[in-house]
């Protein structure tokens, strides 16, 4: 049984006061709902990791980073290593988000190197894949997803300690959500690739999240799709009521 993961990606949003207030509200609700089956995760900007980590301590909500470097340490001005995220209290890190792939030119092989660095530091990487609007319109959605999964995921030895997030680029931050049928097709394809590459047992155990304009009013139907093992939520994770309503309705 795969435990559903509801993850908030705050992106480059939040100063200390509002970030801590949001985290404190969520921590209170999570405590009241302790025992719920789903797992909760928030990924604030790096500047807020420690303060948010303190606010959610003991609530059962996990803390994650939004990116990490592929090396442990060194002359990489402005970058953060996986070990530093771990040291700040993280247990997860997002890698290969389309905003990193497109705004920073990150390639599949770099994403894989980051995912491996995350695992080496004791973090679980959440590895993002997803096609653009043009690729979908050209009928290439599944082949793009396949090549990103093939190029970005870790090899068999660490296969069980990763999460995949399917995030169609055209659905991110646009309010345009993929239909449950689109999501079902993409997730089934990813699942079959995972089974083929890693074997039945490991391939079945890896969680596949959906991300892209997940909101309280569409989360129920998306989270009910077979092989959707949770959600990666951007905009709606910045509002306590919206994030909570998604989490609370998670089947």
Contacting residues toward ligand PGA, per CB under 6 A: 9, 167, 172-173, 211-214, 232-236
For the stretch 182-192, what's the b/e string if a residue is b when 16 or more beta carbons lie within 10 angstroms of its beta carbon?
bbbbbbebbbe
| Bridge partner list, 7 | 41, 232
What is the rounded CA–CA span in Å between residue 93 and residue 43? 8
Of 136 and 198, nearer to ligand PGA (C-beta) is 136
Of 107 and 176, nearer to ligand PGA (C-beta) is 176
Of 67 and 167, nearer to ligand PGA (C-beta) is 167
For the stretch 64-91, what's the b/e string if a residue is b when 16 or more beta carbons lie within 10 angstroms of its beta carbon?
bbbbbbbeeeeeeeeebbbbbbbebbbe
Of 166 and 198, nearer to ligand PGA (C-beta) is 166
Rounded to a whole number of angstroms, the minimum distance from the CB of residue 236 to ligand PGA is 6
Rounded to a whole number of angstroms, the minimum distance from the CB of residue 209 to ligand PGA is 9
Is residue 167 among the annotated active site residues?
yes
With beta carbons less than 8 A apart as the criterion, state whether 3 and 40 touch: no
List the one residue out of 196, 240, 199 whose CA is nearest residue 56: 240
Is residue 187 among the annotated active site residues?
no
Helices (H), 48-132: 49-56, 82-87, 98-103, 108-120
Q: How far is CA 125 from the centre of its chain?
A: 8
What is the rounded CA–CA span in Å between residue 239 and residue 216? 11
H or E element in which residue 144 lies: helix 141-152
Rounded to a whole number of angstroms, the minimum distance from the CB of residue 79 to ligand PGA is 20
Among the listed residues 39, 83, 97, 106, the single catalytic one is 97
Of 83 and 90, nearer to ligand PGA (C-beta) is 90
Rounded to a whole number of angstroms, the minimum distance from the CB of residue 155 to ligand PGA is 25
Among the listed residues 39, 69, 167, 189, the single catalytic one is 167
Rounded to a whole number of angstroms, the minimum distance from the CB of residue 172 to ligand PGA is 4
What is the rounded CA–CA span in Å between residue 204 and residue 164? 12
By beta-carbon distance, which residue lies closest to ligand PGA?
234
Catalytic residues, which ones? 97, 167
């Amino acid at each position: 049984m795969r435990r559903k993961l509801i993850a908030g990606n705050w992106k480059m949003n939040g100063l200390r006061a509002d970030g801590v207030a949001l985290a404190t509200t969520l921590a209170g609700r999570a405590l009241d709902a302790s025992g719920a089956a789903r797992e909760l995760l928030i990924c604030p900007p790096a500047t807020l990791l420690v303060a948010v980590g303190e606010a959610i301590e003991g609530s059962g909500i996990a803390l994650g980073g939004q990116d990490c470097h592929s090396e442990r340490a060194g002359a990489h001005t402005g970058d953060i290593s996986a070990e530093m995220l771990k040291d700040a209290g993280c247990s997860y890190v997002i890698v290969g988000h389309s905003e990193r792939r497109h705004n920073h030119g990150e390639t599949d092989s770099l994403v894989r190197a980051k995912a491996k660095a995350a695992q080496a530091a004791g973090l679980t990487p959440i590895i993002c894949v997803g096609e653009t609007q043009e690729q979908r319109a050209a009928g290439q959605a599944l082949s793009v997803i396949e090549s990103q999964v093939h190029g970005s995921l870790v090899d068999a030895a660490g296969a069980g300690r990763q999460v995949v997030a399917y995030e169609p680029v055209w659905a991110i931050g646009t309010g345009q959500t993929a239909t449950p049928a689109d999501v079902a097709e993409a997730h089934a394809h990813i699942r079959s690739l995972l089974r083929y590459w890693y074997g039945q047992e490991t391939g079945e155990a890896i969680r596949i999240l959906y991300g892209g304009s997940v909101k309280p009013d569409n989360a129920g139907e998306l989270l009910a799709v077979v092989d959707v093992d949770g959600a990666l939520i951007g905009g709606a994770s910045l509002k306590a009521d919206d994030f909570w309503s998604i989490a609370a309705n998670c089947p």
